[in-house]
Amino acid sequence: MVYLNKKEGISKGSNICWKNILSSAIVAVFVTILCFGNLAMAQGKLKPVSEEEFKKGKDLYNKYCAACHGEEGNGYGPLSGALYPKPRDFTKGQYKIRSNPSGSLPTDADLIHVISVGIHGTSMIPWDILELDQIKSILPVLKSFSEAWQYREPEPSVVLGREMQATQNTIARGKVLYEQKECWKCHGETGHGDGPSSYDLEDEWAIPIQAYDFTREGKYKGGAANKDIYLRFTTGMNGTPMPSFANELSDEDRWCMVHFVKSLTKQKKDRHEE
């Protein structure tokens, strides 16, 4: 910022004396050297982090995360070849499990959450061996892998209205919406993840991806609480074909959708019980 202000000062100030110009230039050069010499220093929209703090995070990242996500954060760590789903490539700035609108970068709270609880059914385990401040120190490292963080800021989390009680009526309403909004095209009429569009889905990295099978109890990647399910179809899952329905459903309708989607698990249980 100092650099930019000084530069503006130079271009605007027609009657600034040479001494001022010279000292501005020296400051500009000095700040430039500082920035290039220390990439950990935040640029653009990133909050500044001391070199020491960045190194602490980088050491933790190399120790615990790089085996899968790669030292450069591109998802090509030594273990990645054997894994499906693939470890996230952080260079694209695409994150699935967020609380904010489609296309946004995740909030720090989103990142801390997903790192702490992991992603169910994948090799991304819950990192509960790490202290909160250790996880926090890794965030600037993740952000340093993608330019997206220099130009954009995470949007605020969406606001959830109060959930009403699940009843036969809310489930029936959810079923109508599931038809209308064509969730079935990917997730299937009975929620088994086998809809007509489900067979050739790919993610942003051209890797085949499956629509979630709602009949599997509690296996949600983003958590099985009603609030989690609400957020997934409200915010979409960046980098995957799972779209956002933020503009198409009222708050009440979204809770109805959650109740219906959850009822699909129960139906399977009922069938087993018969």
Positions in the binding site for ligand HEC (CB under 6 A): 64-65, 67-69, 79, 83, 85, 87-88, 95-97, 111, 114-115, 119, 122-124, 127, 138, 181-183, 185-187, 197, 201, 209, 211-212, 220-222, 229, 232-233, 237, 240-243, 245, 257, 261
> What is the DSSP-derived secondary structure letter of residue 23?
H
The residue among 28 and 249 lying less far from ligand HEC, judged by its C-beta, is 249
**Phi and psi of 159, rounded to 5°?**
-95, 125
Q: Which is nearer to ligand HEC, 56 or 88 (CB)?
A: 88
CB of 221 to ligand HEC, least distance (A): 3
Query: How crowded is residue 131: how many other Cβ atoms within 10 Å of its Cβ?
Result: 9
Least distance to ligand HEC from the beta carbon of 170, Å? Answer: 14
Rounded to whole angstroms, how far apart are CA atoms 115 and 103?
Answer: 20
Q: How far is the CB of 150 from ligand HEC (least distance, A)?
A: 18
Give whichever of 24 and 99 is closer to ligand HEC, judged by the CB atom: 99
Handedness of CA 68, 71, 75, 77 (dihedral sign): negative
| Min separation Cβ 191 and ligand HEC, Å | 9
What does the DSSP 8-state code read for residue 79? T
- Of residues 9 and 243, the one with the C-beta less far from ligand HEC: 243
Query: CA–CA separation, 135 vs 131, rounded Å?
Result: 6
Length of the chain: 274
Cα(40)–Cα(128) distance, integer angstroms? 26
Q: What's the min distance (Å) between Cβ of 33 and ligand HEC?
A: 31
Look at the block and give the residue holding tokens 């996500």: 69
